[in-house]
Structure 1
């Protein structure tokens, strides 16, 4: 299992300089990959290009670039450019976002997300492979059949023709699609003790797509909150730093009728609590929503507490099948973020040492 850092996107409390400091710290500490997100604020490619020019080794990935935000050809151009600028370090993570962002921000209907994603990835791969892009799908037609356009080939020669493509997925059908057409899965709110079901869905997709023997990267994005006190009170205090993040997704990322993260919390065993969190968040009470998130849900989907407890959590994720553990900082303070990354690296080395000693995992 490799170690990654998910920087998310810029927020009012996090500056570009903060993100760069954390990126450089992660590279120095031996992290394998750095992921950057986008919603309806900062975009992922710009931040990635900026960091690419100021790092040398660490992998760089989008988690995610939004499918409704760009045509597949534009995404292929951006991916090829980022891979070229970074010397072959880029990983393309894609996601359909949600209906609120897709329709409210980008003006793109959210209908048929599976079919649109399949066609989108087809075209991106075709373009990155420097084939002439001619495609007759239900959702995409290139070139348009009734105009002067012609099939074109990507003019840039990217660093790699086989640039890895990842899909963010939450529901079972999306997970199967990720296994069928992608090189990796970007998972969020991943509980090690509940990973068997999503991995089974991915395996079904891989078998259907004839990709069962091809390496597949299972990326779990996991919040981390470090504290020295291993007591229940100490773990609860660490969880408090994660509460706003969990409440935002479970309560606020979507409408009352369509919130994939709320559904996921329900599948993890907390449907009633998830409904309460959503009610409070949508009523304009985010602090109360955060307080209503069950401690157990946070503890199962985050790394909390002292270094040795975090190392044990890493062991559980590795044993469950995670191949890249991408930690998300639960602090907006620059120095505290660096300190957290140092503790994560220490925990990772502790887990690696114990895994080598027991002869299990790498």
Structure 2
């Protein structure tokens, strides 16, 4: 049994953050991590950060976790992916996600409708462009070239370093997870708990079977908060803000995919309370309402021995790449957490 380690840096959050993110990426590379992933919402964009990291690293893989589908045309995404793959010598993986209605409509001005069908067409076009096909597409949501103008079918003028750039899909809802199993090379999972993994993997496998794909055709990449220390309950405290934001405030009261996931995981009452508190502006109370068990089930908390056992559980629960997000006060604490999880990974025999 093997499971790769990766690093998820999330978003840039302040003026001093770039230096810290670079230091974490360099440490992950020195420890043999497979890849580093960066996110975007309505602040830093992932391709810019990845290009900056690429110029200062040499071996570690680089992934967008994610590039937002409503933010770019599929052809623009293909251009960016080809450029990053070429410039990094084949180190880039393309993670895509539909974002949510608030960001899609409020920030990008793109209606959040038919996300599964849009994603399917989007991936079709990106893959065709990256294969350097002369691009012509007649879909429900995308038509290339436009039929009533001077446009003509075009072909990407550069070639990626690799014949096929891996495409990952961020998926939370059951139907989205099935779609990842059907069309993606990897699934970007969040709040992945071994106790709930069978239900999610069943959806992934259903998509794979529908497409005639084998069970090993999709990399299950779970982003997992990481906090090291002797007391797991104390380690959970820094993660509460992240859990409260996503379960309580990432979306509207009627449409929050992460809240829905918490409900499916058996935390219906707690998810409702967290959302009520967060949307009322009582963020600290929302954080306090996040159950310790939820944080512990979806994070890596504790000392090296506990991390060793928890990494083994994640691997047994189907995770093939564990992307850790280190929490803690100060850069040195987070760097040390990477050292600890690398040692736990070695002890668990997952390399």
TM category (shorter chain) comes to over 0.9
Distance change >3 Å, CA 214–CA 338, structure 1 → 2: closer
Instruction: Give, in angstroms, the shift of residue 291 of structure 1.
Output: 0.6
- How many pairs align? 349
Say what the alpha-carbon RMSD is for the aligned residues.
Answer: 1.1
User: Equivalent residue for 1:133?
Assistant: 135
Structure 1: distance between partners of 2:50 and 2:122: 22
Does residue 293 of the first structure (1) align with residue 295 of the second (2)?
no
In structure 2, C-alpha distance between the alignment counterparts of 1:107 and 1:217, rounded to whole Å: 32
Alpha-carbon distance between aligned partners in 2 of 1:213 and 1:133, rounded to the nearest angstrom: 31
Q: CA deviation at 1:158?
A: 1.1
The residue aligned with 1:209 is 211
Q: Give, in angstroms, the shift of residue 13 of structure 1.
A: 7.5
Q: What is aligned with 1:32?
A: 34
Query: What stretches of structure 1 of length at least 5 have no aligned partner?
Result: 229-233, 353-360
What corresponds to 2:186 in structure 1? 184
**Matching residue of 2:5:** 3
Confirm or deny: 8 A CA contact 2:170 2:188 kept in the other structure.
yes
Cross-structure match for 2:276: 279
Question: Does the residue aligned with 2:20 lie in a helix, a strand or coil?
Answer: helix
Secondary structure, in 3 states, of the residue corresponding to 2:160? coil
1:22 equivalent among 24, 30, 38? 24
Aligned-partner Cα distance in 1 for 2:137–2:277: 46
Give the whole-Å Cα distance in 1 for the aligned partners of 2:289 and 2:330.
25
Q: TM (normalized to structure 2)? A: 0.98
Do residues 121 (structure 1) and 128 (structure 2) align?
A: no
Give the alignment partner of residue 106 of structure 2, picking from 98, 104, 107. Answer: 104
**2:220 alignment partner, SS class:** strand
Which residue of 315, 318, 339 maps to 1:318? 315
Deviations 1:328-354 (A, max 9, x none): 1113521111111111111111111xx
Give the direction of change, closer, same or farther, for the CA distance of 1:86–1:111 in structure 2 (3 Å limit): same
Q: Secondary structure at the match of 1:218?
A: strand
Distance 2:161 2:336 in 1: 34
Partners in 2 of 1:291 and 1:333 — Cα distance? 23
Check whether the contact 1:192–1:320 (CA below 8 A) recurs between aligned residues.
yes
Question: Secondary structure of 1:92's match?
Answer: strand
- Unaligned ranges ≥5, structure 2: none
Question: What is the rounded CA distance, in whole Å, between the counterparts of 1:92 and 1:349 in structure 2?
Answer: 28
Q: CA deviation at 1:214?
A: 5.9
User: What is the 5 A alignment of 1:1-362?
Assistant: 1-12=3-14, 15-212=17-214, 215-228=217-230, 234-331=231-328, 333-352=330-349
- Cα deviation for residue 236 of structure 1 reads 1.2
Question: For 1:224, what is the secondary structure of its paired residue?
Answer: strand
- Asked whether the equivalents of residues 205 and 215 of structure 2 are also in contact (C-alpha less than 8 Å), the reply is no
